[in-house]
Structure 1
């Protein structure tokens, strides 16, 4: 099934507990149907220097129509000064799963 009405919004956090709290809060608020939290090792430029460290990536499945609300929600609750929030459109997916995402988000 091809459908661009859905997206995966991604953010990262340096604390697993906070990443899980952020994921759970977004699902509770029905801004995302589900979220996965998993460890990653990030390399990035910050304050003019290359830095690296452990982070927890959060992938949130949602409807594209909720992207702005979910982004604002994540930024407002995030401890980073400039949190990553990137949306990637879902270009294909199973009809049943996408129906479920639609039903679980408000």
Structure 2
């Protein structure tokens, strides 16, 4: 009975690989980048793993840039707040001396 389940799982995996080849617009490029000349099941799986790795690298690079930009914006905000505080303190000093006159 377990052999039927294994055959079923293998057929579902094969169908998944073929569906990826048929539907993903970058499947052919991934096949070429993973040095596959014929779309065998092993080549399809290599291409899928190559594509997944490439997508992960792009995602990591995107979030790195987002975090870098957030840090830059936070630094600019802190510098602006510090300048605003300094100006407010100087204005308070000026008001103190104006009141004595």
TM-score per shorter chain, which class? under 0.3
Normalising by structure 2, we get a TM-score of: 0.25
TM-score by length of 1: 0.25
Greater relative CO (CA pairs within 8 A, separation 6+) = 1
Q: Which has the higher helix share?
A: 2
Which of these two proteins has the greater Rg computed from alpha carbons? 2
Structure with the largest fraction of strand: 1
